[in-house]
Amino acid sequence: MSNKEDFNWDNFETKGFGEGYSKEQKAQMEAMYAGTLNEITEKEVIKGVVVGVNDKDVIINIGFKSDGLVPLSEFRDVAGIKPGDEVEVFIEEQENALGQLILSRKKAKIVRAWQDIEDALENDNVIEGLVKRRTKGGLIVDIYGVEAFLPGSQIDVKPIRDFDIYVGKKMEVKVVKINHANDNVVVSHKVLIEKDLEKQKAEILNNLEKGQVLEGVIKNMTNFGVFIDLGGVDGLLHITDISWGRINHPEEVLQLDQKVQIVVLDFDDDKKRISLGMKQLTAHPWDSLASNLEVGSKVRGKIVNVADYGAFLELAPGVEGLIHVSEMSWSQHLRNPADFVKVGDEIDAVVLTLDKDERKMSLGIKQLTEDPWTKNDMGTKYAVGTKHKGVVRNLTNFGLFLELEEGIDGLVHVSDLSWTKKIKHPSEFVKVGDELEVAVLELDVDNRRLALGHKQLEENPWDTFENVFPVGSVHKCTVVSKNDKGAVLELPYGLEGFATIKNLEKADGSQVEAGESEDFKVTEFSKDDKRIVLSHTATFKEEAKPAKKEAKKKSETSSSTSAPAEKSTLGDLDALTQLKEQMEGKK
């Protein structure tokens, strides 16, 4: 028992953590532990080692006092993650509410991607990306997990018309712009191609010479020409230098991406603008014209252009002749060339002038038919007195031009339109395009002149009117118009007369007004001047003094014979009755 009493249980009692160490030992131990732990900062990327993997998480040691957990779903892009693998993670929290270290591989990838992108922009690095899809104006490229925009203009040095061919393919690009405000990245593949082309471009420009034949690829088309890629250097092939023939658009003979042989026509001192030609590689078609082609030759071709002044006939590609509108018809009235031909028509023509040195040619169509003025029957067909119908082609102040047939025109003077009406302008009688019947008054074949008349189709009624409207005879007349000098009267048979103001006075002192019909007495008749002067006042009031003794004498003579003259005239002038019916029918 004494032995038991001598045993001290205090030596075996459990004490608190670290209570068995002195201050010096504790300090030494803390220093030793501190050397094995890392000082970490939240919101930064750090490397860690996988120490365990379960169904939900990956346990990662970053050298902190506790391990961190990362969801296994964030390692989908890694095949067979296992302990010992080194990965980058983003520190979200050192300790959450449960005291757990929170890490994220997804955010680490994003942060690292932006760091790499910024580094690529700063150091002009080349990045390999994957084209994910096309979008408006370009492509979306995945670089380091960040979606970047590749504009269509930055895909290649030549225009790209089909963006879909790049989708799903890897492509090397360079970062050209970063917009941190909305996390946008713009990349370019074109800059890489341009660098490769610089040497080739410099070599081409240094060796460029006029007349040099090169091979190029058509990269762009416009309505004025095509741009050709000569291997990093662009040249313009103008539409007029594509073919010796006339073309309206380059697409008629060329295609995009087509390889073509061209010749250098010109370039400026800085060699920035290069003019190219294609037709110059073949001989000019004018040099291969038939030797027997001369003035008077009959040719056949296709109308390639119609202008206001004429049309161009293409005999062969690059060989054209002008058919002036005056050479399209024997008619003296020029019309629109479109009335005769249209683009695409294949027609015959006659060579009028030919200059092979200047490469100019004028042609005619009307020469294929006989000049109507030189026909043998011209003198008899249009003899004086013959009657014809024609179409009114032009009106002038002095008359109208009537086309009797193509190439045969005649003039109808305004005074030859009507026996009875005073026509100031032909437009009062006819209009352009109307058909008019005429009689030939004069024919001059040598000078190609034809005088025509319309009123000559009927006998001169004034020979009859002299007996119908003698001085002193009274007729019912209507005032057509009135002015300060007098009034214009409408007489029977469509004639016009005139009465002065003082001769319009009525018996009650008032005057005859426009539109009123009253009896008027003839005071003057002139067959040569086709003039009849009348008076209403004279029907009820005798004139004290006749204006002229001769007129008075004539009036007395006419008065003494007026009754029998009027009676005999109205009795046997059937022609006058017919004339009246014709005039009334025209109204």
pLDDT digits (tens, 9 = 90+) for 186-220: 988 888 877 777 777 777 777 788 888 888 899 88
Q: Considering the chain, what is the average pLDDT of its residues?
A: 79
pLDDT value for 544: 42
CB 455 within 8 A of CB 417: yes
d(CA 225, CA 217): 14
What 3 state SS string does 37-99 have? Answer: CCCCCCCCEEEEEEEEECCCEEEEECCCCCCEEEEHHHHCCCCCCCCCCEEEEEEEECCCCCC
Mean pLDDT of 406-422: 85
CA distance 5 to 514: 168
Q: What is the band of 101 on the pLDDT scale with cuts at 50, 70, 90?
A: confident
Q: pLDDT-derived band of residue 29, with 50, 70 and 90 as boundaries?
A: low
Average pLDDT of the segment spanning 229-257: 86
Torsion-angle region of 124 (φ positive above 0: left; ψ -120 to 50: alpha; else: beta): left
pLDDT value of position 313: 92
- The separation between the first and the last C-alpha atoms of the chain, rounded to the nearest angstrom, is 170
Length of the chain counted residue by residue: 587
Q: What is the pLDDT of residue 582?
A: 54
The predicted pLDDT at position 568 comes to 36
Highest mean pLDDT among 23-32, 159-168, 498-507: 498-507
Residues 258-311 pLDDT 10s: 999 999 988 876 666 889 999 888 888 887 777 778 888 899 999 999 998 999
pLDDT category of residue 41 using cuts at 50, 70 and 90: low
Report yes or no: 190 and 151 within 8 Å, Cβ to Cβ: no
**CATH 2.40.50.140 spans which residues of the chain?**
41-108, 124-194, 208-281, 285-368, 383-453, 470-535
Opening angle at CA 92, ends 83 and 31, nearest 5: 70
Higher pLDDT, 557 or 194: 194
Asked if the 470-535 domain carries CATH number 3.40.50.300, the reply is no
pLDDT score recorded for residue 36 = 45
Tens digit of each residue's pLDDT (9 = 90 or more) over 431-479: 998 999 999 999 988 888 899 999 888 777 777 787 888 888 999 999 9
**CATH number at 208-281:** 2.40.50.140
Strand, helix or coil at 391?
strand
- DSSP at 11: G
From CA 466, how far away is CA 145, in angstroms rounded? Answer: 115
- The predicted pLDDT at position 347 comes to 92
**41-108 carries CATH number 2.40.50.140:** yes
From the candidate CATH numbers 1.20.1300.10, 1.10.8.350, 2.40.50.140, 3.10.20.600, the one assigned to the domain spanning 285-368: 2.40.50.140
The CATH number assigned to the domain with range 124-194 reads 2.40.50.140
Tell me the C-alpha to C-alpha distance, in Å, between residue 294 and each of 34, 318, 350, 356, 365: 112, 18, 10, 10, 16
pTM for the full model?
0.42
Distance CA 236, CA 400 (A): 56
Half-sphere exposure of 59 (CA within 13 A, CB side): 9
Question: What top-level class would CATH report for the domain 383-453?
Answer: mainly beta
